[in-house]
A and B are shown apart, each in its own frame.
Chain A
Amino acid sequence: MKLVEAIIKPFKLDEVKDALLEIGVQGMTVTEVKGFGRQKGHKETYRGTEYTIEFVPKVKLEVAVADSLVPRVIEAITRSAKTGSIGDGKIFVRDLSAAVRIRTGESGETAL
C-alpha cells in the first residue's frame, strides 16, 4: 500500500477529485495548506507598500491506494492538476505499513 500526497492548486481540486474517482479511488483527504516551491511567493501592493507573500495557498490531497493503482493515480493527478504554468504542485508517494477500517476492523488493502 502507498500513501499518495499531492500538493495542488486549489482551483484544480474538483478536476483532480473527478479524475481519481474515475480510476476507482474510493476516498481521499483534503487539507488547505500554504507553501512554496520554485514558484516562490507573490507580491501584494497596498498604496505603495509592497508585501511579498512567501507562502501561497495550496490544497494537499492524500489518497491511500493499493500498490497496483499507484501509477494510474499519479497519472490521473498529473493530468488533471496540470496548468503548465509555474506553481502546479508536487506529488509525493510513501509506503503505508498498515490500514484499518474502524467500523469493521478490516485491515490491509481491504480497508482502503
Chain B
Amino acid sequence: MTQPRGCWNRSLPTMVLVLLGLLCWGSGVWAQGLQPLPDAPKIESGDTAWVLASTALVLAMVVPGLALFYGGQVRSKNVLGTMLHSLVILCLVSAIWVLFGYSLAFAPDKGGVVGGLDWVGLSGVGVDPYPKYGPTIPHQAFMLFQLMLAAFTPALIAGAFAERIRFSALLLFVALWSMFIYSPLAHWIWGGGWLGKMGVLDFAGGAVVHISSGAAGLACALALGHRRGYRTDYMAPHNLSLTLLGTGLLWFGWFGFNGGSARGANAVAIGAIVATHIAAATSALTWMVVEWMHRGKPTLLGMASGAVAGMATVTAGAGYVGPMGAVLFGLAGGALCYGAIVWKGKIGYDDALDVVGLHAVGGIIGMLATGLLASKGVNAAGADGLLFGNPAQFWTQAVAVCVTALFSFAGSYLILKMVDGLIGLRVSPEEETTGLDLSQHNERAYS
C-alpha cells in the first residue's frame, strides 16, 4: 500500500472550495436558462409534480436510506464514517453534476460516446421542457431527478470499500468515477449514445446504476484488499435494526426511482411501481425460503437483502414488464443473488457489504430478464423481448451487460490505482483497528 501523502490530503479541502467557486460561476449562466421560449412544449403540472416528488424520494434513498442500510451492517466503530460516505457522495456528486456531469451524460451527443460541453454549468438547462427527456416536464426537473440517480450510484459502491478507505481517497475516487464512468455510461444508454441507438432497454438503471456500481464495487474490493482480520475477527453487523430502517426507506424511495423514470404521472409510471413492489416482495420471500432451507433459519438481514436484490433486479425492466413478469424478476433476483453471496464466501474477496452480490448480479439478471420479458403491450416506447417473439433484444441486452461491466470494472480499477498512487487508498492499520469514526473524523457514534 502506498504511503499517505499529507500534502495531498491537506490540499483536498482547497480543491473542494474551488469546485464550489466554479459552481457559483455556473449558476450565473444557469439564470439565463429560465427565460421561457415562445413555442415551448407545454408543461403538465401532474407530470412535473410526480417527477419532483420522485426526485425527493430518490434523495431519501441516499440519505438516510443507504446510510442506514450500510451503517447498520458495519461494526460500531465505523458507523459514522460509513453513514458519512452516503452524505458526502450526495453532496459531491450534486456539485459535479451541475458543473460537468449532467452535460457529459445528457447534452447533445458527440459521436455516440459522450455528451458535449453545451450544458456545462447547466447553461441552457432551464424550465422549458427538453422534449427528448420529457416533453411535459421542465428540463431542470429531469436534470435534478437524474442528479439523484447519479448520486445514488457511487453511494452504492461505498458498501464495497466500507471500514477501510481513507476519507480523502474516497472523495477523489467518487469525483473521478462520477465524471469518467457514470456520465459516459448514462450517455451511452440514456443520453443518445451508441448503446441506446442499438436499442438497449434499461428503464431506470439496471446497467447504468446497478451493474456499474457492482462492477466498480468488485474493483474496489480487489484494489483495496480485505479488511484487517477478515475471516478471523468477529465482523458481524453492529445494528441490524438500522439496516431494516434503511431497507424500508430504500423500498419507499425506489417507487420514485423507477416510477419517476417514466418522466411523468402516467401508465408507465404505475406499471413501473407495481413491478417494483412485486419484485421486492417476491425476492425477499424467495431469499427467506432459500436461506431457511440452506442455513436452517430465516434472517432479517437475509430478507432485507432479498428486497434490495429484487429492486436492483427489476430496475432494468420496471417500465417494460407486466406484474407476472415482475414476479419472475423477484424469484430470479432473490435466488441468484443469494447464490452469488454464498459463492463470494468461497472466492474470498472482501466486498464488505455485498455490492457485487446484490447490485452487479441483480443488475445483470434484470437486464437479461428484460430482454426476455419486455413487451410493447406494457410500454409502446419499449420493445418486445425474446418471449414476445424478438430474440434479438436478448442479445442486445447481453451486449449492454458485458460493455457496462467491463467498462466500469476496468475504469474503476484504473482510477483506484491512480488515487492509491496519489493519496493512498487505505487508512493505516492502526487507524483501521481504531475505526473510521475516531481515526477519520474524531467522532464516535456510541459514547
Contact = CB atoms under 8 A, between A and B. Distances in A.
B235 A49 contact: yes
Given A45-B295, A45-B299, A46-B301, A51 B236 contact: yes
B342 interface: yes
Contacts of A46: 236-237, 299, 301
B344 interface: yes
A44 B236 contact: yes
SS class of chain A's interface: helix, strand, loop or mixed? strand
SS class of chain B's interface: helix, strand, loop or mixed? helix
A51 B295 CA distance: 13
A51 B234 contact: yes
A50 B236 CA distance: 9
Interface string B273-307: 00000000000000000000001010101100100
Q: Could you say which of A46, A47, A48, A50 has the most chain B C-beta atoms within 10 Å of its C-beta? A: A47
A47 B354 CA distance: 9
A57 to B, nearest CB: 14
Interface of B: 234-237, 295, 297, 299, 301-302, 305, 338, 341-342, 344-345, 354, 357
Contacts of A51: 234-236
B235 A47 contact: no
Contacts of B299: 45-47
A48 B234 contact: no
Nearest to A45: B295
Contacts of A44: 236
Contacts of A53: 234
A21 to B, nearest CB: 37
A103 B345 CA distance: 60
A54 to B, nearest CB: 10
A52 to B, nearest CB: 9
Interface residues of A, number: 9
B236 A48 contact: no
Nearest to B233: A51
29 contacts: A44-B236, A45-B295, A45-B297, A45-B299, A46-B236, A46-B237, A46-B299, A46-B301, A47-B299, A47-B301, A47-B302, A47-B305, A47-B341, A47-B354, A48-B338, A48-B341, A48-B342, A48-B344, A48-B345, A48-B354, A48-B357, A49-B235, A49-B236, A49-B345, A50-B345, A51-B234, A51-B235, A51-B236, A53-B234
- Which 3 A-B pairs have CB atoms at the shortest separation, nearest pair first? A48-B341, A48-B345, A48-B342
A47 B357 CA distance: 10
Contacts of B345: 48-50
Interface string A48-73: 11110100000000000000000000
Contacts of B344: 48
B274 to A, nearest CB: 28
A38 B361 CA distance: 42
Interface in A4-59: 44-51, 53
Contacts of A49: 235-236, 345
A47 B299 CA distance: 8
A48 B234 CA distance: 14
B222 to A, nearest CB: 18
Nearest to A43: B295
A26 to B, nearest CB: 39
A68 to B, nearest CB: 46
Contacts of B354: 47-48
